Each structure stands twice: as C-alpha cells, then as structure tokens.
Structure 1
C-alpha cells in the first residue's frame, strides 16, 4: 500500500481514510494498554463526561400489593480531557519520491512505535500535569499491594494472588496483568520446589501467527519496557510497579485517531518532506478499585 503522496503539493497528506486506519491498526497492536483490554471511548469533543456509579440502588423483599420502596444509585461523572501526543520527522524527497512501499512502511512503523511507546508510558506513568495525561500510577482510589517497606524481588506469585483477591473483593475481575520484562524474567526462574528444574511459569505456545502466551492464574500477562525501574520504596531506588486490572474499567478516551500529515513545503530549503503525527487521548477510571498497583518490585 502506497501511503505517501508524491505529487509535490504543499500540505499533501496520506489518503485520508486508508492511512488513518492503517496507522491506528499498527498503534493498537503496539500499545500494551490498548491491547490489554482498555475500553476505547471515541469522542469529537474537547471534554467528555464519563458517568460512574458510586453505590448501587437497593433491592428489598416486598409483600404483594404493597408499595416498592424506591432507591436511587449514587452516581457522578469523571471528565476526560484528551490531550495532544505528537511526533515529527523529516525524510528526504528522494526517499519519499523513489522508495518502494517497504521503505515507506518502515517509516510508518517507526512513527507508530514512537507514538505507541509514549502513549503506554503515559497510560501507566503519566503525571497528570498538563499537557501530560494522568496514568494509572497517579490515579486516586486505586488499590495497592506493597512488596514491603524497602521493596523486595519476586520469589513467588503471592503478590498477584493478593491483587486478584483485592479485585474480587471489589466485585471486579482481573483480566490483565502488566509488568516490566525484568519481572517476567524473574518469575520464570521460580521453580516448583527447591532443587527442582521445573519452573512455575512458562510461556504458552500460541498459533503459528501469534507470539507466546503469558499468564498468571489464567490472567494474560503483558510486558512493557515503559514502566519506570527507578521508583523509590523505602531505601530502594530501583523499584518498579506492576498492574493488575479489569481492562474494561479503564477508559482510553480517543478524541482523534492518529492523524498523519505530510508537507513538502515545511523544509523546502533542505529538499525534505515533513511527516507529522498527532493523536489526542486521555485516560479515566470510572471504577478506580478495578485497578491494583503492585509497588516496590525490586530486580532479582
């Protein structure tokens, strides 16, 4: 598929519908957050109010012929403000005009990866200070499992059992576990018994077209290098966090799919074409208790 225009017209762009879908399909595949089951909510507005139920309505056993006691659920809204994530790169006009689709795909994949990695970083680590969105780490009301005052390395699956138990107690279901690759490496070294060569965890084999399947207690595990490994936990300064959550209770609000623009006039004097990518998104938690952060995980 040829997705770069080569007409030389100032402000030339990708084919509007085809390119946007192509790019966002790649972004979805590369983003752990989006791929792990976040509920995607689309909007055309600058702000979006997402309703949430704080307490349920009350049901009562009622005698036949008597009035049913009314009750109302307690509800409010959380407001999403999609913010702009952008990337800009330049390519020589010779490359743009003469390259085969394979070379163009490399550029598209590179841009998609840059946006996807930053989006994941913000989904989990975002400070919430504009223009950055607020990630899971800094959302109020989420549940936590601590690895101890000064943190600890993973030597068993207990922290994940605790996290899944906390979710169940909040009437939520763990559908995704996200961790840094170093955590999975440590977990795969845990043996069934002392002196045994049999590991507790192994990567499951997927279909030939799929990658390996990872899971803990039947819950899919996703790995991302975008989780910080320099968190402070007591005296430790090399800690990281892992997350266990019900994916559809985490809302990725997308105001615009990835918008890709190509302009040959922006760098006219250097005979280059500018390629700009923008995406507007936010993250909100209608039910913060559906997310558990395991904090203070140290390298093994």
Structure 2
C-alpha cells in the first residue's frame, strides 16, 4: 500500500495555485508583454514586473519543496515495500552492477589487461658516453632551452552530454525490456440494490517490448603510441566512453527506433504537442504542462530547451523595456513554472520538451561500457598496430508517452 503525505498534497496545491496566478498575468499581458493590459495587479509597469518576479521566486521555492517531499515519499514507500516483500530483484541487480562495474577505471582495466601486457616491444641496448666539453656553449651557439610538452589535451569543440542524467537508470539481464501496458480500463462499478446484478467491468493488457541495442566505436593506435602508458590511460578514460555516451545522449532524444537504433523520445508515438501560436513562450509551456496533467495524470518535472530558445525566454521584456526575469546584472531563474531548465544542443531550435522523466522514462543497461584491445584486425599484427574497441548495450523506454509534450513554434 502506498503511503500518502498530507504535506506533499498541500505543497503541490500551493504550487499549482501560484503557477495559475502567474499564468493569468501572462495571458493578460499577451505576447507583447504589455503591462498596461494587466488589470489583476495594481501599480505601474515596474510594480507589475516586480510582482511577477516575486511570484516566480515563490514558485521556484514551492517547486523545490515539492521535489523534496516527493523524494521523502518515495523513500518511505520503498522502505515499506522492502519490509513487506524484500529486495529480491533489486539485490540481484545490485550484485550484477557491482560485478560489471568493478572498482577499476576503464584505462586501468585496459593497461592491466593480458592483451596489453602480453605485447612484445623491441628494446635496444643502452650506451653511456662520457664526453668533456671544452668550449663554452650558450643558446646562441648551442641548443635552445629544452621544452617539455605537458599532459593536457585541449579537446575539440563538441556537444556535451546533457540528457542521460535526466533519465532514471536500471539494469537487466535480458536482451529486451518487456512489460505489460494496460490498454483497456472500463470501470462500471456502481451501487447494487438487494438481489441486483453486479455491473461488469473490463480490463485488458498488452505486452510491450523495448529491445536492447549496442552502441560502439573503435580507434586504431600504433604500438609506439601505446608505450606511453599514462597518456593512453587518460585518453581511453576520457574519449572513448565520452563518444559512446554522446551518441547515447543523442539516441535518447532523436533515435528513430529502426534497428539497430534506439527509439528516442521525439520519435515515440503518443507524446503530446502544444503549439506556441500567439501565446508568450511561458504560456505555451504552461499549457503543455496542463496537457500532461490532464491527459496523462502525470506531473512534469523537467523542461528541455535549445539554448537559443531559452535565450528568448530569459530576455523577455515588457513593451516599455523592463526585463521580466531580471536585469542583465542578475543571473535570472534556472527554472520555468518551478521546473528545472535543461539546455540541450541536440534539440532542434524552435522546440522545447516538457515531461515527467522521473516516473515514465527509464534507461536500462544490459552491459556497461566495455573496452577491449587486439591486434587481430586485418593486417594490424604485421603493421604494429592495435585496435581499441568500446561499446555498451542499453535499452531506452518511455512507459507513458502522454506524460511528455513538445512545445513548438518557439
């Protein structure tokens, strides 16, 4: 049985009411942010903007309070479930995760592997020469001062990892994540007179499957480069896993679902859409949140933006030039309607995503990132080269598509 918390219900109610009051003001102001049209707040344009900022701060504080209470409720319910049923599946998953991850870094696993240690390098004899220098040498007539290259590598400009951390993660020992979705729910429960007939209800389930897919890459390296063990360890630790996670980050958002691709959020059938139309941007986001609440009975907890679209929201001004979210000297909010803002370069400009990521999405790992090395590729053995390969096997699941919505036309 799920434990309910009156404090959470009360805080959520206050948050919804505060969001509604701010939404009403934006609706009055219209897309031009004309404070003269706002009649629900007294005062001049500056006073009305101050009210908006105060209300937005209140929403942020209430949202943080609700998030904390949600975590407490989940922890309490998890403890209750543990005491009643045990952690049979969770304990098995934990042991498997410990075995797969181990305690060594990827670079250490690579340099400690038999494939690396078994390499036969050619080391020549050393000779020590004792030479007395009779003439004075300086930097003009001899060698210039020696310089040593530092260990730092300036990485190329590339898209960072931005979505993976939003998704709850789990593990599996199967080749697919299979679950049952309730597709029929007809509730005819009702009052029955003495001797009356019970009304019949109906339930229907459908099996759903999200297959595990593999994402991988490899790089060729010469034997000479591999002799610099510390540098190779650092490079393997950083770049190969990053390449894998960067591709996975993209697949979570836009994967088309055709094997061997994962099916990303934006290509999942059933997610909702809210067009901006003539609304201010914040209003369109609020309407998307409402659709999720009404049609999916879910609570959105994150908004995802292209940085250029979030820039437009942050720079919103009234018709007389007052910044809605604070002047350029202020950092401004990292939330909208109390929800955290995540900026993702992989999201197409003009579209934002609102969703209940915490409850209705999951990234399931069949096997974590694995790095292997071999010279058996092609003619690598005779060319003195090694192939370093990395891959991961994962599944991505959207359990309730209607718990997510895109906001278009921003």
Q: Would the TM-score normalized by the shorter structure come out above 0.5?
A: yes
Cα RMSD (Å): 3.5
1:291 and 2:404 matched: yes
C-alpha deviation, 1:245, in angstroms: 0.8
Tell me the distance in 2 between the aligned counterparts of 1:87 and 1:169: 43
Match of 1:189 in 2: 315
Structure-2 residue corresponding to 1:76 = 206
Alignment deviations for residues 114-154 of structure 1 (CA, whole Å, 9 cap, x no partner): 22221122111111222212212221111011234xxx9x9
> What residue number does 2:237 align with?
108
Q: Compute the TM-score of the two structures, normalised by the length of structure 2.
A: 0.54
1:172 aligns with one of 291, 298, 310: 298
Aligned to 1:209: none
CA distance in 1, matches of 2:355, 2:117: 42
Report the CA distance shift for 1:145/1:12 in structure 2 as closer, same or farther (over 3 A).
farther
Q: Which has the higher strand share?
A: 1
For 2:110 and 2:214, how far apart are their aligned partners in 1? 25
The answer for unaligned runs of 5 or more in structure 1 is 14-29, 206-211, 230-239
**Match of residue 261 from structure 2:** 132
**Higher helix proportion (structure 1 or 2):** 2
1:273 to 2:386 alignment = yes
Distance 1:103 1:120 in 2: 25
Aligned to 2:16: none
Higher relative contact order (CA 8 A, sep 6+): 1
- Are 2:372 and 1:242 aligned? no
Residues 151-166 of structure 1 aligned to structure 2 (within 5 Å): 156-166=281-291
Indicate the larger mover: 136-145 or 89-98: 89-98
Per-residue Cα deviation, 1:66-88 (whole angstroms, up to 9, x for no partner): 99867454332221111111111
Offset, 1:63: 7.7
1:168-226 CA distance string (max 9 Å, x none): 11211111111222222222211366311453699x98xxxxxx983211111212212
In 1, Cα distance between the equivalents of 2:394 and 2:222?
Answer: 30
Give the Cα separation in 1 of the matches to 2:240 and 2:348: 22
1:226 counterpart residue number:
346
Deviations 1:223-274 (A, max 9, x none): 2212245xxxxxxxxxx42211111202323322222212244433443332
The 3 A distance-change label for structure 1 pair 190 and 129 is same
- Structure 2 residue ranges without an equivalent (≥5): 1-104, 119-159
Partner of 1:251: 362
Radius of gyration: which is bigger? Answer: 2
The 1:224/1:136 distance shift into structure 2, 3 A limit, reads: same
Alpha-carbon deviations, 1:35-78, whole Å to 9, x = none?
A: 11x23342222233122233557484668999986745433222
Range moving further from structure 2, 282-291 or 88-97: 88-97
Partner of 1:26: none
SS at match of 1:117: helix
Question: CA shift at 1:4, angstroms?
Answer: 4.9
Q: Which residue number corresponds to residue 223 of structure 2?
A: 93
CA distance in 1, matches of 2:116, 2:206: 44
